[in-house]
């Protein structure tokens, strides 16, 4: 059965699996003091810049919580989109585990602007309110849209001017870079992001993500974030305290290294010369574009209505509920939200690194039949 429910459904990429196997030869020091993790750190500086420090963790929620806890004091708040994963889909982990209040700001097509910072900056110094300490952005957003480098720089500059640090939830960061035609550094370090939750599982990994510290300086006296410890100092202790430090870290590091590339290899490229993260992301994005184009070319516009831009590997659309249920006999996918009327539903179709052109074309035919 074809899966368009999530890129988490995809299998492990063979190159990642081979890297895990290679890391399994013989003994190695535990808790990240192994040669594979050392090479990963070396590679992180090549990809993100000399100041970058990478800390493998077990999952994306853990990466987000550690990043936010490192960037904010116990009394801090996290400004994020009203549909951000840290706000809607992590079971309150930033609040429950991190003790940080999420300060939701209205989004447009998944994105927020500098007004999100302005909305809460007036609370700085008010003991009655959670103190804004971090701006958290999602790239790619939950609606499949992408922030441009200029958008990110404006947001980061606004946050820093208010004394806030900037966190990027990069579970699909690779897809955003592939869409924009830039490297990972150009939409993180170079635009002023301080700390990143780097995704791997959605882009060919087995399990495991990473926290990447990009800038460790205290950002200013106005914001509550200025009172917290240095990020590089804080993350190792938080990783252990939140149960995200793997004893056999080499197997997480091996996956990240397979995706980013070994030290000394190009950080960008085209075709087979490109690093695996880019090849996988570019392919899943292309399948997302093919799916949207196929739906539009099939003449389904009267009954299937695309609801969001298709910037990456996901298509959102509304269609009759009964047709969606019939199409699910061919392809698994999720309902996202109510449709325009009671008999319609908004759905999400998401492609992955292993989605084929035949998969996409077959689903378009099945969808046409279902309608």
DSSP percent split of the chain into helix, strand, coil, nearest 5: 40, 20, 40
Residue 14 Cα to chain centre, angstroms = 22
Cα(347)–Cα(198) distance, integer angstroms:
26
How many residues does the structure list for the chain?
A: 371
- Distance (Å, rounded) from C-alpha 251 to C-alpha 181? 30
Specify the pLDDT at position 1: 75
User: pLDDT at position 235, please?
Assistant: 97
User: Angle at which helices 357-370 and 276-297 pack, to 10 degrees?
Assistant: 30
Question: Are 77 and 105 spatial neighbours (Cβ–Cβ below 8 Å)?
Answer: no
What's the CA gap between 301 and 204, in Å, rounded? Answer: 33
pLDDT digits (tens, 9 = 90+) for 2-52: 899 999 999 999 999 999 999 999 999 999 999 999 999 999 999 999 999
- CA 302 from chain centre, in angstroms, equals 33
Q: Which residues of 231-266 are buried (b: 16+ CB within 10 A; e: fewer)?
A: bbebbbebbeebebbbeebbbbbbbbbbbbbebeee
DSSP characters over 58-83: S-HHHHHHHHHHHHS-TTEEEEEETT
Closest by CA to 61, choosing from 41, 40, 84, is 84
Which residue intervals of 216-269 are DSSP H helices?
231-241, 250-260
- CA nearest 177: which of 204, 155, 146, 215? 146
Q: Encoding tokens for residue 121?
A: 């900056």
Contact 8, 351 (CB under 8 A): no
The pTM (predicted TM-score) of the whole model is 0.95
CA neighbours closer than 13 Å in the CB half-sphere of residue 84: 30
> What confidence score (pLDDT) does residue 36 get?
98
CA distance 214 to 195: 6
Asked whether 340 and 331 are in contact (CB, 8 A), the reply is no
CA distance 117 to 274: 37
On whether the CB atoms of residues 119 and 319 are closer than 8 A, the answer is no
The SS3 assignment for 131 reads: strand
Measure the CA angle with vertex 219, ends 63 and 177; round to 5°: 50
Question: DSSP letter at 191?
Answer: G
Q: What gap in Å lies between CA 45 and CA 221, rounded to an integer?
A: 29
Mean pLDDT of the chain: 95
Q: What is the pLDDT along the chain (371 residues), one digit of tens a residue?
A: 789 999 999 999 999 999 999 999 999 999 999 999 999 999 999 999 999 999 999 999 999 999 999 999 999 999 999 999 999 999 999 999 999 999 999 999 999 999 999 999 999 999 999 999 999 999 999 999 999 999 999 999 999 999 999 999 999 999 999 999 999 999 999 999 999 999 999 999 999 999 999 998 654 433 444 433 599 999 999 999 999 999 999 999 999 999 999 999 999 888 888 999 999 999 999 999 999 999 999 988 789 999 999 999 999 999 999 999 999 999 999 999 999 999 999 999 999 999 999 999 999 999 999 99
Task: Using CB atoms within 10 Å of the CB of residue 293, give its burial: 0 to 12 exposed, 13 to 18 middle, 19+ buried.
Answer: middle
Q: Which two tokens stand for residue 90?
A: 């992590």
**Tokens encoding 308:** 């969001």
* R_g over Cα of the chain: 21
d(Cα 218, Cα 74) in Å, to the nearest integer? 16
């Amino acid at each position: 059965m074809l899966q368009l429910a999530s890129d988490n459904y995809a299998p492990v990429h063979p190159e990642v699996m081979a890297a895990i196997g290679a890391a399994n030869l013989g003994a190695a020091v535990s808790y990240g003091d192994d040669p594979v993790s050392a090479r990963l750190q070396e590679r992180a500086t090549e990809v993100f810049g000399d100041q970058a420090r990478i800390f493998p963790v077990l999952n994306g929620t853990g990466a987000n919580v550690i990043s936010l806890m490192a960037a904010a004091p116990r009394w801090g708040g996290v400004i994020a989109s009203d549909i951000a994963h840290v706000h809607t889909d992590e079971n309150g982990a930033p609040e429950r585990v991190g003790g940080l209040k999420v300060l939701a700001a209205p989004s447009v097509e998944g994105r927020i602007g500098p007004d999100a910072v302005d909305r809460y900056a007036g609370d700085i110094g008010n003991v009655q309110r959670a103190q804004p300490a971090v701006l958290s952005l999602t790239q790619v957003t939950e609606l499949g849209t992408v922030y441009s480098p200029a958008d990110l720089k404006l947001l980061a500059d606004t946050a820093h001017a208010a004394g806030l640090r900037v966190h990027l939830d990069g579970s699909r960061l690779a897809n955003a870079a592939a869409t924009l035609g830039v490297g990972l550094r150009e939409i993180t370090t170079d635009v002023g992001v301080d700390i990143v939750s780097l995704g791997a599982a959605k882009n060919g990994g087995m399990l495991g993500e990473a926290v990447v510290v990009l800038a460790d300086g205290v950002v200013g006296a106005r914001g509550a974030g200025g009172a917290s410890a240095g990020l590089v100092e804080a993350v190792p202790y938080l990783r252990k305290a939140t149960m995200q430090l793997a004893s056999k870290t080499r197997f997480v590091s091996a996956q990240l290294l397979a995706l980013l590339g070994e030290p000394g290899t190009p950080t960008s490229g085209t075709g087979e010369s490109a690093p695996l993260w880019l090849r996988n992301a570019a392919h899943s994005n292309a399948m997302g574009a093919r799916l949207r184009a196929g739906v539009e070319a099939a003449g389904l516009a009267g009954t299937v209505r695309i609801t969001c831009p298709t910037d990456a590997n996901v298509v959102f659309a509304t269609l009759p509920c009964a047709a969606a249920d019939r199409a699910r006999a061919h392809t698994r996918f999720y309902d996202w939200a109510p449709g325009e009327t009671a008999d319609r539903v908004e759905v999400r179709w998401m492609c992955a690194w292993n989605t084929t052109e035949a998969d996409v074309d077959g689903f378009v035919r099945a969808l046409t039949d279902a309608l």
